[in-house]
Amino acid sequence: MNSFVQGDPLLCIGCRTCMIACVVAHEGKRIFEIDPDGYDFHPKLKVVKTWLVSVPVQCKHCENPACQAVCQVGAISRIDGAVIVDQTKCIGCKSCVDACPFGAVRMAPLGFETNPDGSRRAVANKCDLCTGLDGGPACKRVCPTNALRLVERENIDEILTYKRAESLKTAAATISPSITV
C-alpha cells in the first residue's frame, strides 16, 4: 500500500514552512548559494485556508491513481509505495491536473529547459514523498506543530481501530447514556 502525508487542521497554524521545506529538499542546499533567480519556487504541496480549515493539500498517492490512468506517455508510475511523476517524460498535456480529484497536481517549469519557441517547458509537479532524499518527507520534518504525519499501512489500522472505538461510544451513548465503552 502506498503511504501519504496527511495534515491535521487542528494542529496546522498555516505557516507554510512545509512549502519552503519542500522546495529546499528538492533543490538541495545549493538553493542558498545560487543566484536567487537561478531556481524556481514550486512547492509540491499547498497550504489551503478556508473558514474551517488550514492545512496543506498534497498528493494522496492513490492506489489506483487517476493521474496515472490518464497519462498518455507513461510518465506516472507507482514506485516503492509512492506515485511518482517522471518529469523528463512528461509532455505537459495537463490531463493529470484535470484528473486529480484533490487538486494535488500542478504545472511547473522543468528546471530552465525551454520549448523550441523559447518558452519555459512546463511539466506536472506533485508530491513524491521525498523519495530518494534523506530523512523522509521534508514537510513533515519541519512542521513546528507536528501537524503533518506520514501515514503508512500500519497507521491506517491504528486510525481505524481508534475510529471504531469512538463510534461505539457514540452508538452506546445513543442507546443508554449510562453505558461506557
Partner 1 sequence: MSNGVHEIEDAALLFVFGYNGADSHPIVARRIVRAKQKGAKIICCDPRRIETARIADMHLQLRNGSNLALVNSLAHVIIEEGLTDDKFIEEHSTGFEEFKELVKNYSPEAVAERTQISPQEIRQAARMYATSGRSMILYGMGVCQFAQAVNVVKGLANLAIMTGNFGRWGVGIGPVRGQNNVQGACDMGALPNAYPGYQNVTVPEIQQKFEKAWGVPLSNKVGIPLTQVPHYVLHEPEEKKIRAYYIFGEDPAQSDPDLHEVREALSKIELVIMQDIYMNKTGQFADVLLPSTGWNEHDGVFSCCDRGFQRIRKLVNPPADADVLTDWDIICRISTAMGYPMKYDNTEQIWNEVISLCPSFIGATYEKLEKYVNIQWPCRSTDMSDKGTSFLHKDGKFANPDGKARFSSIDWQPPVELENNEYPLILSTCREVGHYSVRTMSGNCRLLRNLEDEPGWVQMNPELCEELGVKHGELVKVLSKRGSCIARCLPTDRVKKQAVYMTYQWWIGACNELTNAVLDPISNTPEYKYCACRVDKIEDQQWAEKYVLDEYAKIRENMGISEQPKGGKAA
Q: Is 120 helix (H, G, I), strand (E, B) or coil?
A: strand
Which amino acid makes up residue 48? V
Q: Environment class of residue 124 by beta-carbon count within 10 Å: exposed (0-12), middle (13-18) or buried (19+)? A: buried
Closest to partner 1 by CB, 41 vs 102, is 41
* Minimum CB distance to partner 1, residue 29 (Å): 12
- Which residues sit at the interface with partner 1, rule CB under 8 A? 9-17, 19-20, 23-24, 31-32, 35-37, 41, 49-54, 144-145
* Minimum CB distance to partner 1, residue 138 (Å): 13
The whole-angstrom separation of Cα 133 and Cα 81 is 15
Closest to partner 1 by CB, 32 vs 74, is 32
Count CA atoms within 13 Å of residue 170 on its CB side. 6
**Which residue in the block uniquely carries the three cell numbers 491536473?**
97
Q: Do 55 and 7 meet the contact criterion of CB atoms below 8 Å apart?
A: yes
* Minimum CB distance to partner 1, residue 30 (Å): 12
Q: Give me 150's grid cell.
A: 506520514
Closest to partner 1 by CB, 50 vs 170, is 50
Closest to partner 1 by CB, 16 vs 89, is 16
* Minimum CB distance to partner 1, residue 106 (Å): 12
